Amino acid sequence: MRIIDSAYLNEFIQSIENEIPKLIVEFDFSESNGGFDYLTKASAVYSSNIEGNSVDLNSYMNYELNKTKFI
């Protein structure tokens, strides 16, 4: 898998220099910064699709929003 063309890699590395560790340390992983809840749920749905489950993301998210009605 190619994420970036190697022709641009050196230019990218020069533009950020040695900031990667600093950027990782300063990154806000908290839920208050948009949260990863949706991304985690979407990832789980798509992963289950690969395993043969036919549920789609829209159906799952509708269930999540309305599950209090089904209790």
Domain that holds residue 63: 6-70
* pLDDT for res 63: 85
Instruction: Per residue of the chain (71 residues), give pLDDT as tens.
Output: 566 667 777 787 788 877 878 888 888 777 666 667 788 888 889 998 888 888 888 888 888 888 766 55
pTM score: 0.45
In a domain, 1, yes or no: no
* pLDDT for res 31: 67
CA-CA distance, 38 to 49, in Å (whole number)? 17
In a domain, 16, yes or no: yes
* pLDDT for res 69: 63
Number of folded domains in the chain? Answer: 1
Question: Six-digit token pair at 26?
Answer: 């300063």
Length of the chain: 71
